[in-house]
Amino acid sequence: MRLVIVTGMSGAGKSSALKMLEDMGYFCVDNLPIQLMPKFAEILATPNSELNDVALGIDVRSGQALGGLEKQLNQMDADGIHYEILFLDAQDDVLVKRYKETRRQHPLGDAGHIDVGIAKERQKISFLKMKATYILDTSKMLTRELKQELEQIFVEGKDFKNLYVTVMSFGFKYGIPQDADLVFDVRFLPNPYYIAELRPKTGNDREVQEYVMNSDRAEEFMEKFTDLIGFLLPNYILEGKNQLVIAVGCTGGKHRSVTIANALYHTMQQNENYGVRIEHRDIGKDAVTKAK
């Protein structure tokens, strides 16, 4: 029997996660009254129970009963009832944007103030995040990426990657990414922009990659760069960090930064201790600007 409690911030994707788990064969119950949870878990633990994989959705809609959930979980621990907690989170600005796009009201928002509701909710469910078995930050996750992560955890049984890294290329002339944790400037590398046949291409093209990387500076930089990242990531994992954005910038975000970001991404893919994705924020903006 596998019992998964799905919880987290409103707007972070709890409903989507429950639907995905249901498609994976889990029996899902959303917003089960907290008072019934120990009894429900007891039934599941009964030998020969037909329910093997169960997911329970719990959130702030439980109201005042949420205050007794911690006691209920502690009692389940004492009774030897095994459970896992999947906590879905997202950055505050992302949650606000999602609420505005769907025109929904936050369940704890006073007079429609979404940010106030988010702050209250974080405080109310902080104990759940502290007890969480898995924490997924969906701020930058696509739906298919969330599904893939859930499949790896709850179907394939792979070790959970507590840290999810986004490697992002960008152009300084379009501004530094606001959500960047680490920013690296690679404008000192050879610039394909000044080579006529390379100018329309990008760092995703082999010719540009060879031009940028074919120098002692680039080789030495990548060696030191990957060594630094390799040192930092295990320490971030120990700290409990679950989301990291590494931003690599050049002038326009089309050639050098894309090349270096791709090289770092391919190196990081070889490590199974964290998840990694690649994003080229400004790769197409040069063509759009010229068209105008």
Q: Tens digits of per-residue pLDDT, 166-196?
A: 999 999 999 999 889 999 999 999 999 999 9
CATH code of 42's domain: 3.40.50.300
Could you tell me the pTM of the whole model?
A: 0.61
Q: What is the pLDDT of residue 126?
A: 86
Task: Please give, one letter per residue, the 3-state secondary structure of the chain.
Answer: CEEEEEEECCCCCHHHHHHHHHHCCCEEEECCCHHHHHHHHHHHCCCCCCCCEEEEECCHHHHHHHHHHHHHHHHHHHCCCCCEEEEEECCHHHHHHHHHHHCCCCCCCHHHCHHHHHHHHHHHCHHHHHHCCEEEECCCCCHHHHHHHHHHHHCCCCCCCCEEEEEEEEEHHHCCCCCCCEEEECCCCCCHHHCCCCCCCCCCCHHHHHHHHCCHHHHHHHHHHHHHHHHHHHHHHHHCCCEEEEEEEECCCCCHHHHHHHHHHHHHCCCCCEEEEEEECCCCHHHHHHHC
Does 197 have pLDDT greater than 60?
Answer: yes
Residue 161, both tokens:
């990657």
Q: What is the pLDDT of residue 194?
A: 94
Query: For the chain, what is the domain count?
Result: 2
Asked if residue 188 and residue 251 are part of one domain, the reply reads yes
Q: Do the Cβ atoms of 285 and 174 come closer than 8 Å?
A: yes
Asked if residue 211 and residue 92 are part of one domain, the reply reads no
Asked if residue 183 and residue 64 are part of one domain, the reply reads no
Asked if residue 167 and residue 147 are part of one domain, the reply reads no
Asked if residue 248 and residue 198 are part of one domain, the reply reads yes
Asked if residue 106 and residue 128 are part of one domain, the reply reads yes
d(CA 242, CA 164): 6
Segment (H or E) for 155: none
pLDDT in tens, 232-253: 998 887 776 778 999 999 999 9
Q: Whole domain around residue 118: which residue ranges?
A: 2-154
Asked if residue 147 and residue 8 are part of one domain, the reply reads yes
Asked if residue 110 and residue 182 are part of one domain, the reply reads no
Does 39 have pLDDT greater than 80?
Answer: no
